[in-house]
Amino acid sequence: MMQEQGRAEAVGSNYDREMMLQARARVRDALYAIAARIVPGMLEESAVELARRHLKAAGLLRGWHALHVRCGRNTLLPFGAPSEPNVVLGNDDIFFLDIGPVWQRWEGDAGDTFVVGDDPGMHRIARDVRAVFEQVRIRWQADGITGIELYRYASEAARSLGWELNLDMSGHRLADFPHAALHQGALAEAPFAPSAGLWVLEIQIRHPELPYSAFYEDLLL
């Protein structure tokens, strides 16, 4: 088991924990700056272009994964699926951002959900996705459970709040770019307790009946 964890948590020659934390802070700042400029009436495609321009201006030029802005019914799509085109953010609507840029030599990844208008269910799911993330993080800190157990617990936590967990969003490594040369497996498949600062916990929950979901991700710290 220790050998398997060692292989899964290998880093490159440029790995630096403090620089990874700086990359995290820069990427999260960019995420919320972009979200603040996305308004009702905006096409999803326009929001994506806005995000690209902002990341370029912030010195976050290269993405280790594709940039996603998902609005309304497109929030239900799995990670790699193309969005349905010409979706416009409504006055009472939900959207999330998922950005994975590289800052200098270090990877960042950030995702969060935002609501416009007054729909109570959308506001609740946006709060609850963060609550599920925090419950899982606290459980990991307290009990040192495996990646497999983390997502089992996440599913139970989501269900207790009335939502369904999407296991297509199953967590992954980060490192000095490119981590994929070292490891490509999901956190949800890890049979060991993940180490701090190396793994992204992804949580996506969906409404059991209505066509929307919420997403949140961050480094496990």
pTM of the model: 0.96
Interval 170-197: pLDDT, tens: 999 999 998 888 888 899 999 999 999 9
Burial of 51 (0-12, 13-18, 19+ CB in 10 A): buried
The pLDDT of residue 196 is: 97
Compute mean pLDDT per 10 residues along the chain, 221 residues long, and list them.
87 95 97 98 97 94 84 92 96 97 94 98 98 98 97 98 94 91 90 97 98 98 96
Residue 32 CB neighbour total at 10 angstroms: 12
Helix (H) or strand (E) holding 158: helix 147-160
User: For position 75, which CATH number holds?
Assistant: 3.90.230.10
Q: Report yes or no: 80 and 67 within 8 Å, Cβ to Cβ.
A: no
Tell me the residue range of the domain where 101 lies: 2-219
Give the pLDDT of residue 167: 86
**Contact call for residues 105 and 61 (beta carbons, < 8 A):** no
Q: What is the pLDDT of residue 62?
A: 74
pLDDT at 85: 96
Residues 6+ positions from 70 with CB-CB distance below 8 Å: 44, 77, 83, 95, 96, 98, 215
Q: Based on the structure, what is the number of domains in the chain?
A: 1
| Nearest partner of 55 among 96, 97, 86, 113, judged by Cα | 97
- Asked if 175 and 186 count as a contact pair (C-beta separation under 8 A), the reply is no
Sign of CA dihedral 15, 16, 22, 24: positive
